[in-house]
Structure 1
Amino acid sequence: MGVLVVGSKSIQTDDEGYLVNFSDWSKEVAEAIAKQEGIEQLTDRHWVVIEFMQKEFKEHGTGPSMRKLTKESGVSTKELYELFPKGPAKKAAKIAGIKKPVGCV
């Protein structure tokens, strides 16, 4: 278990840095996680992906597969890798405050 400190709030994370409780997520938390992941600023395109990830999580209890993410979010595979280098589904899920997608190693 880990702890992410955002402002005066301490937030529990698992060993890989994913939030333990989705209810702890906020835009400030997302920005803090993004910085830890090497993304200095979240753009409107990042938020498109983050919001899609959260929508899928709320509806299905898990994040979308890469295939579904690229087919239904309006963001191409190439752009996903530009926005979230070195593992876009994992990074986007972490920043969105949801669990690690099934099938991600």
Structure 2
Amino acid sequence: MLTFGDRIVAVDARGYLLDPADWDRTLAEAMAAADGIRLEAAHWQVLDLLRDYHGEHGQAPAMRLLVREVARVLGSERADSRALYRLFPQGPAKQAARYAGLPRPTSCI
């Protein structure tokens, strides 16, 4: 369980939501703030992309697929793993999926 403001949400041992219905933008901002990150427009573009991808495919993409999806959806100039690491320094696929309220990508260590 994690407490964010006046909310208590169930998470697994790695901090991923157990109930995706608990997710909202305020929770994502609180999760990021706990990691010392302020979510900006560039973060939200990736988070929205992840949520859309998950809605279509039923899973969160691992890093290589995330980079390809960023290129496809947001443009090749944004599809740089270093840029994604600047946004999500604990690992773009894992950390962004956690903030997006999605399960941990299966192929991420």
Among residues 47, 52, 56, which one is paired with 1:55 in the alignment? 52
8 Å contact kept, 1:6–1:28: no
Unaligned runs of 5+ residues in structure 2 are: none
Secondary structure class of the residue paired with 1:5: strand
Count of aligned pairs: 102
Unaligned runs of 5+ residues in structure 1 are: none
Scaled by the length of structure 2, what TM-score is found? 0.86
Give the 4+ runs in structure 1 shifted more than 3 A: none
Q: After TM superposition, give the deviation of residue 37 of structure 1 in Å.
A: 2.5
Higher helix share: 2
* Matching of residue 91 in structure 1 with residue 98 in structure 2: no
Among residues 94, 97, 104, which one is paired with 1:100 in the alignment? 104
Q: Deviations over 1:17-62 (max 9, x none)?
A: 00001110011100111122231x1010000110111111111111
Instruction: Report percent identity of matched pairs.
Output: 40
Give the root-mean-square deviation of aligned CA atoms. 1.2
8 Å contact kept, 1:54–1:98: yes
